[in-house]
Amino acid sequence: MSQQELIGESACGIVVKLTSGEVTPLDLLDALEKRISDVDGKVNALPILCFDRARKSAMELMKKPRADRGLLAGLPVPIKDLTDVSGVRNTFGSPIFRDNIPVCSDILVERLEENGALIYAKSNTPEFGSGANTFNKVFGATLNPWDTSCSAAGSSGGAAVALATGMAWLAQGSDMGGSLRNPASFCGVVGLRPSIGRVARTPKGKVDATLGLTGPMARNVEDVALMLDAMSGQHPGDPLSLPKLTNSFLSAARSGKKPKRVAYSPDLGITPVDPQVAAITRAAAGRFAEAGAIVEETHPDFGEAHECFHVLRALDYVGMEVLLPEHRELMKPEVIWNIEEGLRLTVAQVERAEMQRAAMTARAVQFFETYDLLLTPATIVKPFPVENRFVSECAGKIFDNYVQWVSIAYAITLACCPALSLPCGFTESGLPVGLQMVASPGCEAQLLAGAKVLEDVLDVRRTTPIDPRGPKSTC
């Protein structure tokens, strides 16, 4: 195959070619290096490259029989610039850590490499992953390849853009308030926030931190399922991690199992939404009827989501207070705001927020006794101008803070549910829109099966990879 044909192939297709010997891991690295050279200067998705490390790993992997090279068999994967990879810069998008080089890899990276992944790049992220627009003082902004005047969202914006432009077949992202779902939506790819414990990672700060999780990103549902298989499994270093399931997530995605009853909500009762986004996602949800499902417009009660998330997010930032005395001038104002909000919290506020989260989770679990899936817009707006730090208003509603515009994602985070952003259509100006698909906690297999059914009905999975398209001011 030519390098261009390789770039356009699915991850599952590449793994078949690796295991058959049609291509080698070194062939893939060569193709990626060329592709990055050609297009990354236009979008700034992968600012840190480590091809020497990847080729060294490839040579070691190729000493093994092809059948023993793991699920990914030598498939290259980029890692978000918040996650430690041994010997590779990990800046967190912050000038404070511009030259930070970890000695040890995160558990997640070790697991991927055990399964045959080759780490060749770090993907761009906002400072400390804070904010749903990917820009920082170290590397600058990542641009949306559908229109480079637009935001790629965040915080896994670099990963989403790498996938959309053919600089990656699979990618790792992380998600607190939609940090892999939002960029997947804006860039026309698939991103999955899994259940708590599904993907083991090295605990940082708190052992039981569960707002922010790590998950897979790819161009289609089957590839996301493959990546989740390679990421998942129990590890003693992460006490919350879950054992690997008997059946693979890829087999679940390919099962053809159709949901019987699904719910759609344009707003979960807590947020405004752009009318065009609502129309596109409602139409996509309605097409589940073609697969024989009953589609109804309803949702669980998420009335406490704003108060609850504001408190628990701020609590997660308290540990960063040690950076303020010496580095305050290097940190973006949104990060400082989060830390200071956390420092003002009382025990009573934290206790109330934890109880609210438990109540929302219980209501969601009860809701999924009736409905197999809940569908919403993945984001409430279309891609916005990249120079805007965040979305300050929507449909005439002015938001109270810089994260409230992603509440349709963080409400699902609070309910502990796995959620996936699936490309479902385009705006009048040709920008992607994602449909958020949600299942009950622990039910990624059901979620992936339903997502693949709808993906087949919508038939939009071959819209990527694309060459970056210059600024058109369509956002």
Average pLDDT over residues 197-201: 98
The structure tokens 């589940």 sit at 288
pLDDT digits (tens, 9 = 90+) for 304-328: 999 999 999 999 999 999 999 999 9
Q: What pLDDT was estimated at residue 354?
A: 98
Residue 331 clears pLDDT 90, i.e. is over it: yes
* CATH class for the domain made up of 3-463: alpha beta
**Residue percentage of the chain with pLDDT more than 90:** 98
| Backbone phi, psi, residue 422, to 5° | -115, 130
Average pLDDT over residues 109-129: 98
What residues have CB less than 8 Å from 239, skipping those under 6 apart? 203, 207
pLDDT digits (tens, 9 = 90+) for 340-372: 999 999 999 999 999 999 999 999 999 999 999
DSSP code string of 351-366: HHHHHHHHHHHHHHHH
Query: Contacts by 13-18 with C-beta closer than 8 Å and gap 24+?
Result: 14/75, 14/169, 15/71, 15/72, 15/73, 15/75, 15/226, 18/66, 18/69, 18/73, 18/74, 18/75
Residue 97, Cα to own-chain centre: how many angstroms? 23
Residue 205 clears pLDDT 90, i.e. is over it: no
Give the whole-angstrom CA distance, residue 393 versus residue 232: 37
Residue 473 clears pLDDT 90, i.e. is over it: no
Residue 461: pLDDT band (50, 70, 90) is: confident
Average pLDDT over residues 425-448: 98
Domain boundaries, the chain: 3-463
Average pLDDT over residues 416-444: 98
Residue 254 clears pLDDT 90, i.e. is over it: yes
Residue 404: pLDDT band (50, 70, 90) is: very high
Q: Are 220 and 230 spatial neighbours (Cβ–Cβ below 8 Å)?
A: no
What residues have CB less than 8 Å from 338, skipping those under 6 apart? 130, 313, 314, 317, 320
Residues 395, 375, 459: CA angle, nearest 5 degrees: 100
Q: Are 306 and 404 spatial neighbours (Cβ–Cβ below 8 Å)?
A: yes
Q: What dihedral angle (degrees, nearest 10) is formed by the CA atoms of 209, 212, 215, 221? A: 130
- Which letter does DSSP use for residue 399 in this model? P
Q: What pLDDT was estimated at residue 166?
A: 98
Residues with catalytic function: 80, 155, 179
Residue 236: pLDDT band (50, 70, 90) is: very high
Work out the mean pLDDT of the chain and round it to a whole number: 97
Residue 424 clears pLDDT 90, i.e. is over it: yes
pLDDT digits (tens, 9 = 90+) for 76-109: 999 999 999 999 999 999 999 999 999 999 999 9
